[in-house]
Amino acid sequence: MKIPVDLIEKYNVPVPRYTSYPPANFFEANFGTADYLKAVTESNSEQPENISIYIHIPFCTQLCLYCGCNTHITKDADLMRRYVDALIKEIQMIRPLLDKSRKVSQIHWGGGTPNAIPSSYIGEVMAVLNSEFEFIDKPEIAIECNPAALNKQYIDDLASFGFNRISMGVQDFREDVLKAVHREVPEIAIEELVHMIKSHQGMTVNLDFIYGLPFQTGESFAKTIARAIEIAPDRLVTFSYAHVPWVKKAQQKLEQYGLPSADEKVKMFETSWAQMKAAGYVPIGLDHYARPEDEMSKALQSRTLHRNFQGYCTRETTGQVYAFGVTGISQLENVYAQNSRTVSEYLEHIDKGETLVVKGYILTPTEKIIRQIINEIMCNQYLSWTKIGDRFNLQPEEVKNLLNFSNEKLNPFVADHLLEYNDDEIIIYDLGRFVLRNIAAVFDIHVGDPNRKFSKSV
């Protein structure tokens, strides 16, 4: 795929990332704990019936300067112990609100760095989940790890707790890049860690990379991806570095080195895309890749791929998401809700026997339709108005009227050879994936609000 330069300039404008709809900066502070607890109870009669559990471990031992995640930098072992006790208490507080008949289909440990805490703590939480919940036949149990803090024993422990996917943040193999962004260089080579993981039957590996960091060039990133392909992970992600120094102050420090230009970033994207495709991987959305036999690739083929804050998921594992831990975001059918902002606030409230939700959002019926449309665009690169209408018991024309949508809004994308449409369908071409966020924004009734700021799309 070759992306023309004029297209990059044209579409490199601030747009939401659409990891949720409406985006997280719409969450409101007047949505509180009582609203969340009520929503949890009501979620028992909503679809999907499956339960997805998100556990947030905010701890990292040092801050990577590019980081956009919710982290708490510490090496305080006592604090980590108290945090895990609080997590267990929080799970036990929410559990009675959920119908016993509902099963867990997905558990995702994210961060921060979940493997910054001792593996035995993870085992304790998993034991609680196992005793409190029933699981579907093949649940997806995944964890995000920093390879610098992984070793054989830790991996063996994760396998024994039932994990079937370990995602490692590699970011880049180049030591000068890692040093510039203040990131530890792993002592055990990624190749070796992957080998240790794959020695457990059923365990799969995802590797995360970022392009757009200081010192990276099209050529150097191509070498990074070539090495990644040799490692043959089951999945791989190439994140475009999101530079938002007005939110994440530490990112400003990267500006001293100069950041790769939008053109250079596009080169990195194009080359890695071509490399991954040539190696037999299926591109998912803009930045994820999976083996053709992976259930994610199969879901894309049948146009049934979904997405939540934790990433892409299939129909089998998609559940309403119940988040535990500081800053965790629950994603129920009608509601988003975010937990306490800081570790001390979180511990204080859990100690008092209450969970704390600091902000959230109740979706309107129209927003639920838009969320579904944006999901189809971002995940399946395809939309059928009839299918959307069927899902919400509406005629296709009624859906379009609700969004004030007319086909003319898509004509600029058609002129740029990014998509095609007919009376019922919108089909996005490979090149269109590069501007998926821009295409999704056409259906977003909130776009253009001058009070909201987003990162640029490239």
Ligand X SMILES: C[S@@+](CC[C@H](N)C(=O)[O-])C[C@H]1O[C@@H](n2cnc3c(N)ncnc32)[C@H](O)[C@@H]1O
C-alpha gyration radius of the chain: 21
The verdict on 146 binding ligand X (CB under 6 A) reads yes
Q: What are phi and psi of 246, to 5 degrees?
A: -75, -15
**Is 325 or 432 the residue whose CB approaches ligand SF4 more closely?**
325
The verdict on 239 binding ligand X (CB under 6 A) reads yes
DSSP characters over 359-397: EEEEPPHHHHHHHHHHHIIIIISEEEHHHHHHHTT--HH
140 binds, among ligand X, ligand SF4, none (CB under 5 to 8 A by kind): none
- Decide if 80 contacts 263 (C-beta within 8 A): no
Scanning 235-243, 294-302, 354-362, 363-371 for contacts with ligand X by CB under 6 A, the matching segment is 235-243
Q: Minimum distance between the CB of residue 169 and ligand X, rounded to whole angstroms?
A: 2
Total binding residues toward ligand X, as defined by CB under 6 A:
16
The verdict on 269 binding ligand X (CB under 6 A) reads no
Amino acid at 292: P
Helix (H) or strand (E) run with residue 108 in it: strand 103-111
* CA neighbor of 161 nearest in space, from 236, 59, 310, 55: 55
Report the DSSP pairing between strands 282-284 and 288-290: antiparallel
The verdict on 68 binding ligand X (CB under 6 A) reads yes
Give CA torsion, residues 361, 17, 244, 76, to 10 deg: 60
**Is 242 or 362 the residue whose CB approaches ligand X more closely?**
242
The verdict on 287 binding ligand X (CB under 6 A) reads no
63 binds, among ligand X, ligand SF4, none (CB under 5 to 8 A by kind): ligand SF4
376 binds, among ligand X, ligand SF4, none (CB under 5 to 8 A by kind): none
- Decide if 115 contacts 143 (C-beta within 8 A): yes
Total Cβ atoms within 10 A of residue 203: 18
Scanning 61-69, 73-81, 156-164, 295-303 for contacts with ligand X by CB under 6 A, the matching segment is 61-69
Q: Which of 90, 140, 172, 208 binds ligand X (CB under 6 A)?
A: 208
Angle between helices 77-94 and 343-351 (to 10 degrees): 50
Report the DSSP pairing between strands 288-290 and 419-421: unpaired
**Is 172 or 367 the residue whose CB approaches ligand SF4 more closely?**
172
The verdict on 328 binding ligand X (CB under 6 A) reads no
**Is 71 or 339 the residue whose CB approaches ligand SF4 more closely?**
71
339 binds, among ligand SF4, ligand X, none (CB under 5 to 8 A by kind): none
Q: Which of 107, 180, 194, 210 binds ligand X (CB under 6 A)?
A: 210
The verdict on 339 binding ligand X (CB under 6 A) reads no
239 binds, among ligand X, ligand SF4, none (CB under 5 to 8 A by kind): ligand X
- Round to whole Å and give the CA distance between 428 and 458: 18
Q: Which of 67, 117, 332, 383 binds ligand X (CB under 6 A)?
A: 67
**Is 65 or 383 the residue whose CB approaches ligand SF4 more closely?**
65
Provide the binding-site residues for ligand SF4, judged by CB under 6 A.
60, 63-64, 67, 69, 71, 111-113, 146, 169
Report how far apart, in Å, the C-alpha atoms of 286 and of each of 238, 378, 435, 441 are. 9, 8, 9, 15
Residue 381 backbone class (left: φ over 0; alpha: ψ -120 to 50; beta: rest): left
**Is 23 or 389 the residue whose CB approaches ligand X more closely?**
23
106: its two tokens: 């997905």
327 binds, among ligand X, ligand SF4, none (CB under 5 to 8 A by kind): none
Q: Minimal CB distance to ligand X: which residue?
A: 169
The verdict on 378 binding ligand X (CB under 6 A) reads no
Q: Minimum distance between the CB of residue 97 and ligand X, rounded to whole angstroms?
A: 28
- 4-28 burial string, b = 16+ CB within 10 Å, else e? eeebbeebbeebbbbebbbbeebbe
Q: Minimum distance between the CB of residue 60 and ligand SF4, rounded to whole angstroms?
A: 3
**Is 111 or 432 the residue whose CB approaches ligand SF4 more closely?**
111
* CA neighbor of 144 nearest in space, from 117, 165, 175: 165
* CA neighbor of 311 nearest in space, from 274, 285, 344: 285
Q: Minimum distance between the CB of residue 112 and ligand SF4, rounded to whole angstroms?
A: 5
Total Cβ atoms within 10 A of residue 443: 23
Q: Which of 90, 140, 144, 444 binds ligand X (CB under 6 A)?
A: 144
Contact residues for ligand X, defined by CB under 6 A: 66-69, 110-111, 113, 144, 146, 169, 171, 208, 210, 239, 241-242
